[in-house]
Amino acid sequence: YGAKRERSGVEVYEASRDGNSPARLGLLGDLRGALDQGDVELHYQPKVGFDGGVVGLEALVRWTHPERGRVPPDEFIATAESSGLMPRLTEYVLETALAQVARWRDAGLTVPVAVNVSSRDVHTPGFAGAVAARLARHGVPPGSLQLEITEHAMLEDPQKAADTLAGLTGHGVRMSLDDFGTGYSSLVHLRKLPVSELKIDRSFVARLVVDAEDAEIVRCTIDLAHSLGLVVVAEGVEDDATWGRLRDMGCDAVQGWLVSAAMPAHEATAWLRARDDAPEPVAGAEPVRR
Ligand code: C2E
Ligand code: MG
Ligand code: MG
Ligand code: MG
């Protein structure tokens, strides 16, 4: 009850199905403990260009509860946000991701990592400076870090959030606009934001092949993003047909189960190495894409 199977076969706990707030409160206390005990880890999902080149890896938080099994981020991110636990979670994620980038670099694997940041983060004074200090401490160049933010996360105080983004890009950190199309996307807004990448939400990508309207939305979004000089990544690409349509539409990169699900660090390392050893795709030939 309250659990379903994830693709990996791991039991997934869903607090939303339990429905009662004591469950959520219990979960919250557990999350606090989990951060202390190391039950929270990061998995990494590749962003890959249509030539097969790896554009970066997105760090996604994974929490394995001792009794409840895997608790999906969607179940605890919002709770962490409203409870004041978010700064600790973000600190943990940034710290772990930057240490991993440094480890990969030392192993000869140069790859940027993307970290998701929340509303709380971009409304916290001094966040940009703290990120810059953390980069310096790990000896990681700012260009190797990308921060993903949703439009929704900027709503509370758009000016304050925009200031944080400006601070971050001022330090050389690249910004990505996540889940594009699900918020109150305004063109004026988009033009003003210091982002260099736009991620088309999975909900549009999923039905791209069967739904003409979704296809049109995706095509227009790609053109719009390009006219603003942004790199476009499509989220949640699960099949070859979708991959092909996105390539034909001029999309720059994809992320999704077709390429790879998010992997623990050691698997991601092996995945990167296998890529590294792979021969460069020959011009005109079918690109390598799995
Ligand atoms: P997101 O940043 O939009 O991440 C993409 C989500 O789609 C991830 O879910 C990923 O595992 C999933 N996904 C990737 N490829 C596919 C696919 O081909 N098909 C389908 N159906 N799903 C795919 P996940 O890991 O459960 O994360 C959900 C959301 O939780 C993320 O959405 C992000 O908003 C948030 N999140 C995850 N990690 C963190 C974190 O460290 N900090 C913060 N603040 N939020 C995080
Ligand atoms: Mg993301
Ligand atoms: Mg997203
Ligand atoms: Mg999404």
CB neighbour class for 34 (10 Å; exposed up to 12, middle 13-18, buried from 19) = buried
Would you state the pLDDT for residue 285? 45
Is the pLDDT reported for residue 121 higher than 80? Answer: yes
**What are the pocket residues of ligand 1 if the criterion is a CB atom closer than 6 Å to any ligand atom?**
45, 60-61, 72-74, 77, 93, 116-118, 148, 178-179, 202, 235-238, 255-257, 262
Is the pLDDT reported for residue 283 higher than 80? Answer: no
Would you state the pLDDT for residue 287? 43
pLDDT cut 70: percent of the chain above it:
86
Q: What is the pTM of this model?
A: 0.90
Would you state the pLDDT for residue 271? 97
* CA nearest ligand 1 atom 37, residue: 60
What are the DSSP E strand ranges found in 50-87? 54-65, 69-71
The atom of ligand 1 lying closest to the CA of 74 is 30
The interface predicted TM-score of the complex, written ipTM, equals: 0.98
pLDDT digits (tens, 9 = 90+) for 260-276: 999 999 999 999 999 87
Query: Mutation test of ligand 1: which of 61, 116, 205 has the most ligand atoms closer than 8 Å to its C-beta?
Result: 116
Q: How far is the CA of 239 from the centre of ligand 1 (A)?
A: 18
* CA nearest ligand 1 atom 11, residue: 262
Q: Report, as an integer, the average pLDDT of 83-97.
A: 94
Distance of alpha carbon 42 from alpha carbon 60, whole angstroms = 6
pLDDT digits (tens, 9 = 90+) for 95-119: 999 999 999 999 999 999 999 999 9
Is the pLDDT reported for residue 130 higher than 80? Answer: yes
Question: 154: which DSSP letter?
Answer: G
Q: How far is the CA of 236 from the centre of ligand 1 (A)?
A: 9
pLDDT cut 90: percent of the chain above it:
67
Would you state the pLDDT for residue 13? 55
Residues paired with residue 71 on neighbouring β-strands, in sequence order: 63
Would you state the pLDDT for residue 3? 44
Would you state the pLDDT for residue 22? 58
Cβ contact 272:54 at 8 Å: yes
| Average pLDDT along the chain | 88
Instruction: Give the residue from 133, 201, 202, 197 showing the smallest Cα distance to 171.
Output: 133
Distance of alpha carbon 131 from alpha carbon 146, whole angstroms = 11
Would you state the pLDDT for residue 284? 46
* CA nearest ligand 1 atom 22, residue: 236
Q: How many CB atoms lie within 10 A of CB 39?
A: 16
* CA nearest ligand 1 atom 4, residue: 60
* CA nearest ligand 1 atom 33, residue: 116
Least confident range of 59-73, 135-149, 243-257: 59-73
* CA nearest ligand 1 atom 34, residue: 116
Q: How far is the CA of 199 from the centre of ligand 3 (A)?
A: 6
Query: Mutation test of ligand 1: which of 60, 86, 96 has the most ligand atoms closer than 8 Å to its C-beta?
Result: 60
Closest ligand, as measured to the CA of 77: 1
pLDDT digits (tens, 9 = 90+) for 141-196: 999 999 999 988 988 898 999 999 999 999 999 999 999 988 776 777 788 889 99
Which of 136 and 5 is assigned the larger pLDDT? 136
